[in-house]
Amino acid sequence: MELRRSDIILSRLAAGPSILLLFVWMVVPLAMTIYFSFLNYNLLEPGMEQWTGLLNYEFFFTDPAFGKALLNTLVMVGMIIILSVILGLLTAVLLNQDFWGRGITRVLAISPFFIMPTVSALLWKNMLMHPVSGFFAWLFDLVNLEPIDWLADFPLGSIIMMITWQWVPFAALILLTSLQSLDESQVEAAKIDGAGPIRMFLYITVPHLMRSVVVVILIESIFLLTIFAEIFVTTGGGPGLETTNIAFLVYSQALLQFDVGGAAAGGVVAVILANIVAVFLMRMIGKNLD
């Protein structure tokens, strides 16, 4: 299609507001954060700001909490994605079968996706995982097992379990949509060729779903890299540093220790990390955009 000059101007005008807004949204606070990261800036000592060069970064990187938080972030994002994709796929395949009450089960199964993170965290922490009066404690009691103090004994695992519950429905939703667009004639042909259900699943369904799986991974990592509310409400990053991720580490530095400079340095590091992950993901998804 030939582009006229007026067309080019028009399309710039149309795309302009979005791009400009996002640019300002990204650049202005980021520039301020970078500036703060070179200052000795504590909210408890107003007016004492001083240029300190890379000192904040040095503190942040040499803080043993940094390595731990980085590891926790990667473990959380990785585990939750793997679990939610596998469980979501199984759920989607199941809900795609023909059975009685399928419509209602779909509505029930996707419900966790609508629950706000703070509510789900409070709900899991108290009513389900409470070591004495929680529902899980009762289940363990039923089978004569010693109840587990989930958030104290398996803090990271508990958080992963809780957040996976929120994201399984999302993965199932997208994969279900994709399953419904599976070409019936292809399935029929494979059936006639004598392919069993497992072979059909592996050679027809799974390849068809790959694009959707990539999309699920992309969207989930965007949200999971910045998990905050669930940790804030349940463990507060503890015990020790067991459930501190990068987002929570920066938060505790900024708002609990009032160290704006240090938090800003952490923020810059977090942004750089996010961009490294983004580059990988963008390569993956890039093919999907065409």
Partner 1 sequence: MANKKNYQKTLFTCTGWFVSLLLFFPIFWMIHTSFKTELDAFSMPPRFFFFDATLENYGIVQERSNYFHFALNSVILSFGSTLLGLLIAIPAAWAMAFRPSKRTRGTLMWILSTKMMPPVGVLVPLYLIFRDFKLLDTRIGLTIILMLINLPIIVWMLYTYFKEVPHPLLEAARLDGANLWQEIRHVLVPITFGGIASTFLLSVIFAWNEAFWTLNLTASDAAPLTAFIASYSSPEGLFWAKLSAASTMAVAPILIFGWFSQRQLVQGMTFGAVK
State which of positions 53-92 bind partner 1 (CB under 8 A). Answer: 90-91
Task: Please identify, using beta-carbon distances, which residue of 55 and 128 lies nearer to partner 1.
Answer: 128
- Interface with partner 1 includes 144 (CB under 8 A)? no
- Residue 212 is which amino acid? S
Half-sphere exposure of 13 (CA within 13 A, CB side): 6
Give helix 55-62 / helix 260-289 axis angle, nearest 10°: 70
Closer of 79 and 95 to partner 1 (Cβ): 95
Which 232-261 positions form the footprint of partner 1 (CB under 8 A)? 233, 246-248, 250-251, 254, 260
- For position 161 contacting partner 1 by CB under 8 A, the verdict is no
Binding flags for partner 1, 28-57, as an x/- string (CB under 8 A): xxx-xx--x---------------------
178 vs 205 by CB, closer to partner 1? 178
Give the helix/strand (H/E) hosting 50. strand 50-51
Burial of residue 172, with CB atoms counted within 10 A of its CB: 0-12 exposed, 13-18 middle, 19 or more buried = buried
Residues touching partner 1: how many (CB under 8 A)? 109
Per CB under 8 A, the list member of 2, 51, 62, 107 interacting with partner 1 is 107
Q: How many CB atoms lie within 10 A of CB 265?
A: 27
Positions 204 through 223 that interact with partner 1 (CB under 8 A): 211-212, 214-215, 218-219, 221-222
**CA 221 to centroid of chain Cα atoms:** 4
Instruction: Scan residues 108-127 and list those touching partner 1 (CB under 8 A).
Output: 108-124, 126-127
Distance between CA 39 and CA 283 in Å, rounded? 36
Using rule CB under 8 A, residue 195 touches partner 1 = no
Q: Applying CB under 8 A, which of residues 100, 143, 146, 207 lies at the interface with partner 1?
A: 100
94 binds partner 1 (CB under 8 A): yes
In the complex with partner 1, the residue whose CB is nearer, 50 or 126, is: 126
Is 148 near partner 1 (CB under 8 A)?
Answer: no
Q: Pick from 106, 148, 149, 201 the residue near partner 1 by CB under 8 A.
A: 106
Verify cis geometry, omega within 30 degrees of 0, for the bond prior to 197: no
Which of 2, 3, 46, 198 is the binder for partner 1 (CB under 8 A)? 3
Please answer whether residues 285 and 214 qualify as being in contact, where contact means their C-beta atoms are separated by less than 8 angstroms.
yes
Smallest separation, CB 103 to partner 1 (Å)? 9
Q: Single out the segment in contact with partner 1 by CB under 8 A; choices: 44-52, 59-67, 77-85, 166-174.
A: 166-174
Neighbours of 270 (CB within 10 A): 22
Query: DSSP letters along 123-185, please?
Result: HIIIIIT-TTTSHHHHHHHHTT-PPP-HHHHSHHHHHHHHHHHHHHHHHHHHHHHHHHTS-HH
Q: Considering beta carbons, is residue 192 or 289 the nearer one to partner 1?
A: 289
User: What mask of x and - would describe binding to partner 1 in positions 8 to 27, judged by CB under 8 A?
Assistant: x-xxxxxxxxxx-xx--xx-
- What is the CB neighbour count within 10 angstroms for residue 35? 12
CB 256 within 8 Å of CB 271: no
Cα–Cα nearest to 220, from 153, 166, 288, 162: 166
